[in-house]
Amino acid sequence: MLLRSWHLVRLSIPALACGLLAVGASAQWGMGFNRGGYASTAGQGAAYGMSEMMRAKGYENMQNSEAAKNWEDAKTLEIQNRLRWTETYFEMRKENKDRRADEAGPRVTQEQAIRMAKMAAPPRLGSTQLDPVTGHIAYPLILTDKVFTPYREDLDTLFAHRAASGGSIQYSDYQAIQTTVSKFVDALKTRVKQYAAGDYGKARTFLDSLAHEASMPAG
């Protein structure tokens, strides 16, 4: 009988200790629940803590998702702005090109260019001014001034050589004629005040025509 009673006592001690611990824990959790809103039992406390952790994790995920969405929106807006800037740039270039084309008018054809060049070119010299057979040059009166003798002599020689070759001319002779006429014009300009306006104009036109004849066929 005593042994059985002692055995029961031995078995009851751990149970009693667990009960006391459970009571203490319950009291502790109960105080926590009353003060801070926590669970009244250890199980409820663990469940509440787990739910808080899950809620915090969900809030973190929501914040991350919102941040990612904001980043994507910002990136999309940046791409759209770049696309609009590019479109605007090329539209402005096209508009500028179209305006220039409108201001310039239609393009000149080859026939028109030839006709305009002929109109801009000085008049050709007649056979009484430049003999196609001998190459003799009949200068206007003021160009026979002694001060112009060196230029006349060079041109007489060059055009006589041109006439002797049947109207053909070497490029070196062509350059020589252009250079000599250019110097002739410069010398005439320095004496512009010595001549009447009409005589000066005729002399200048004659020299321009003489230079132009170098590139034209004789006859």
Q: Examine residue 76 and state whether it is found in any structural domain, yes or no.
A: no
Q: Which two tokens stand for residue 106?
A: 């239609």
pLDDT at position 119 is 60
Q: Examine residue 62 and state whether it is found in any structural domain, yes or no.
A: no
Per-residue pLDDT tens digits for 97-117? 777 766 766 676 666 555 655
Of 121 and 81, the structure prediction assigns the larger pLDDT to 81
Q: Examine residue 134 and state whether it is found in any structural domain, yes or no.
A: yes
Domain count, the chain: 1
Domain that holds residue 133: 125-213
pLDDT at position 202 is 94
Q: Are 211 and 162 in contact (CB under 8 A)?
A: no
Q: Examine residue 145 and state whether it is found in any structural domain, yes or no.
A: yes
Q: Examine residue 203 and state whether it is found in any structural domain, yes or no.
A: yes
| Calpha distance 191→184 (Å, rounded) | 11
| Calpha distance 151→167 (Å, rounded) | 21
